[in-house]
Structure 1
């Protein structure tokens, strides 16, 4: 099978130029167009492509924002950033970009991308799969230092985390624990396990959200799936990103 590719660029001439160059490669099987950030996310969900050629500058979401969302919903997609400017390169590779191309497109640059893609494909095929349980992935726990000792909890059992004044609390389904971590430290530790910062004082488990309710002035509240049906505020700036992470 050949490569399944999505091109996300709001400029038609740039898309057409890239399509023409991609057609020169015999192992390109399918090319789908996206004209804005939201359309790119939609196409990635629908097409589950191997590669996303992603323009940095689009009218709704920029390339870095799209890459972050795609990394959550389809982490296997290889992202090749494309832009007329090179100042984004450092940020792009922090988001684990597969490659970075400058416009106008160059056939040799694209050939380098495909050489790297084929090399990556061969390396992946040669790796022996490791059972997740064997690797310890399912046994990892967060250590909560309490007065009486250390309590270990699975990330999936944490409903949300709150900052109450100077104190941070980890909320399990029917109990809360004061911890010595900062909210930022927990955000970094738990981000790979599906946690989202919805407010300056709250970090929520996306898997424990039951409802999103509209509030006042464009704000929302989350109803959590715990014993208390806790209500968590969502800052207006986070609503759009939260919905993209939650919904299929």
Structure 2
């Protein structure tokens, strides 16, 4: 687990770092913590590689709220926690998807209760998400949201439950990444989530509200994969 602390007050920074290390040692968690003195530092060096970011709201060069807005331009999934003296920042924090707020002065008891919620969020995200490069940033896509992935030229089109988006990637690479996640390539152009296959026809399958073709050379292997996934061989 990789965590960033962005805090210009050395005492507060050290307190939060001490609490993180103490909790990690108690629960036998592996954590790597980076500390920054101002919002501009993390924004300039940001590489979409953090699970959690703790942001002091009030900092001299770039405050935590502005830093959070910049970070959200590149990473929609990282958990952002604001650390502040003033509870009124909470309303504005929702605009950048803050997961929680910690009020100063911070006590270990309150931190412990807070971090239990963070761990629950992280466990859910890590189990079912895949990071993909979108433009200049990284987007973590929940596997349960993916109906199927379509190949067209050099691009892959992700067909999700509520939206579609594209990335520059090969189908072969994506198939390799998802081979252990119950996705199967039923056609040169389609990689489908077996969970959402509703029915099988003579030459195609129904997934969501769409019908996708199953290529003849792949049909036998596809049916075997689907049967193994369903266990009893019946379609959901």
- TM-score, normalised with respect to structure 2: 0.53
Deviation at 1:24, TM superposition (A): 0.8
Q: 1:138 aligns with which of 165, 169, 182?
A: 165
Deviation at 1:77, TM superposition (A): 1.4
The 2-side partners of 1:116 and 1:53 are apart by: 14
State whether residues 4 and 51 of structure 1, in contact with CA within 8 Å, keep that contact through their aligned partners in structure 2: yes
1:6 equivalenced with 2:33 (yes/no): no
The equivalent residue for 1:185 is: none
State whether residues 52 and 80 of structure 1, in contact with CA within 8 Å, keep that contact through their aligned partners in structure 2: yes
Deviation at 1:123, TM superposition (A): 2.4
The 1-side partners of 2:75 and 2:158 are apart by: 22
**SS of match in other structure, 2:31:** strand
CA displacement, residues 174-228 of structure 1 (integer Å, 9 cap, x when unaligned): xxxxxxxxxxxxxxxxxxxxxxxxxxxxxxxxxxxxxxxxxxxxxxxxxxxxxxx
The 2-side partners of 1:113 and 1:103 are apart by: 13
State whether residues 69 and 96 of structure 2, in contact with CA within 8 Å, keep that contact through their aligned partners in structure 1: yes
1:23 equivalenced with 2:14 (yes/no): no
1:65 equivalenced with 2:92 (yes/no): no
Deviation at 1:39, TM superposition (A): 0.6
The 2-side partners of 1:98 and 1:58 are apart by: 20
User: Structure 2 matches for 1:74-89, cutoff 5 A?
Assistant: 74-89=75-90
**SS of match in other structure, 1:32:** strand
The 2-side partners of 1:42 and 1:82 are apart by: 21
Aligned-CA RMSD value: 2.0
User: Structure 2 matches for 1:31-180, cutoff 5 A?
Assistant: 31-45=33-47, 48-124=49-125, 125-126=127-128, 128-129=143-144, 130=146, 131=148, 133-135=158-160, 136-138=163-165
Deviation at 1:28, TM superposition (A): 4.7
State whether residues 51 and 122 of structure 2, in contact with CA within 8 Å, keep that contact through their aligned partners in structure 1: no
The equivalent residue for 1:168 is: none
Residue ranges of structure 2 left out of the alignment (5+ in a row): 129-141, 149-156, 167-236
CA displacement, residues 87-125 of structure 1 (integer Å, 9 cap, x when unaligned): 111101222101100011121222222211221123232
The equivalent residue for 1:148 is: none
The equivalent residue for 1:153 is: none
**SS of match in other structure, 1:120:** helix
State whether residues 6 and 44 of structure 1, in contact with CA within 8 Å, keep that contact through their aligned partners in structure 2: no
**SS of match in other structure, 1:117:** helix
State whether residues 6 and 43 of structure 1, in contact with CA within 8 Å, keep that contact through their aligned partners in structure 2: no
State whether residues 67 and 95 of structure 1, in contact with CA within 8 Å, keep that contact through their aligned partners in structure 2: yes
